[in-house]
Structure 1
Amino acid sequence: MNTVKSNPVKQKLGGIKPFPGINSIPPLVLIKKTFIFDLCTIKKLAISIFFMVFVPALVLVFTPPRVLSGEESVVQLLGLVTWYYNFAILFPIIIISSTGPLISEELKSGTMLFLVSKPINRPIIILSKFIALYLFGIVLSLLSLSIISLIALIKYPFADIGLYFGINFIYSLIIIFFFGGITIGFSSILKKPRNVLLLPLTLVIFSFLIIMMFKHIKEHSKII
């Protein structure tokens, strides 16, 4: 009597449905799936942009024009607010919270088991998700900086926002690479998203406190 050996991977996959086109170009399909369905949803993107724009927009709208009499004053104030509020705290938190569940949730749900059963190895899966995260960060950074720059130009038409936009956009790319890379590394090792988020968020808070401490020391030394 012939016995058919069951595939343990297929047994564990259960009712998991494959992604459309996964057999053709798995990395590209995985990038598309992660970017569109996991990261760049309309709700998530709208909420992230709102918080990224909120404080810089308030500062621009409610700062008296007499305080910002020159082009350099506008750019300096906007750059200071954007750097401390957006790219020192908020943007890293958004990137980390978006990265945390990318792999750990799929390990939990069994989707990763399906992916590794296909002709695509684990490093390619992680790299594909990192590329999708990088694209999400670029979209978020471009949209939020564009809105802030537009508000600044409406209220202060004389301001040259090009340098502000360029520097902060480049800085955002570094943040995505650094914090996204760290978080996706932990996400591929740890199973619980809570544990994945804990260490990178601690690093963000610690870095911000160190920056503020050096800023305070620098200002204090100028007074003396």
Structure 2
Amino acid sequence: MQRIIVEPHYLGSLEYFVALVNSDEIRLEVCQHFTKQTYKNRCYILSSGGVMPLSVPVSFDKRTPYKEVTIDHQQSWARDHWGAFYSAYGKAPFFEFFEDHFRSIWEQRHKFLLDLTTEMMTMCLKVLQYDRPFTLTSEYQKIPDHRLIDLRERILPKKPFEERDLYLPFPYTQTFGNIFVPNLSILDLIMCEGSRASEVLTRSSS
């Protein structure tokens, strides 16, 4: 039985979801201090202009744990994310099947980043037809339970996925370009492959 501990990611990468679906137990680290330049509040999709980052604006300081990070709704980020999503995937094969699921989450104006990320993660796992229950940490432990594989602060956008040996890209047909772009947000895979997305994830396991 494989158990992991990892922080919640916003519409996580394929690498992240490969780790989730290959685990029997998921512990989400929500007590560790929030850090910038991570997948915790950002993801990457494929637009007509290439890879596009989507970032949720948040409020925090150096000692704010993930679970207390709030979303800055003074910025029109949710509308912008929906617009980018529609522009990138409006003509994708499975857009019409799932667009309302994601739009309804964006429209909820969550106070905390944690609520947004876990709801998006739950929705994606449901679409992928994976039943993967998760629990939240109640305190930060620098050295976690020895039965857990520690993936905290490991899956980072600034470090190539090839360094981590978690994800082996399995190409699928994307909406733009002739060269496959690996390790985008799970959104890209769901919109392009629909029910076959879970098969792609399985084949992407290193």
TM beyond 0.5:
no
TM-score, L = length of structure 2: 0.25
TM-score, L = length of structure 1: 0.24
Kindly indicate which of the two structures has a greater share of residues assigned to helix. Answer: 1
Kindly indicate which of the two structures has a greater share of residues assigned to strand. Answer: 2
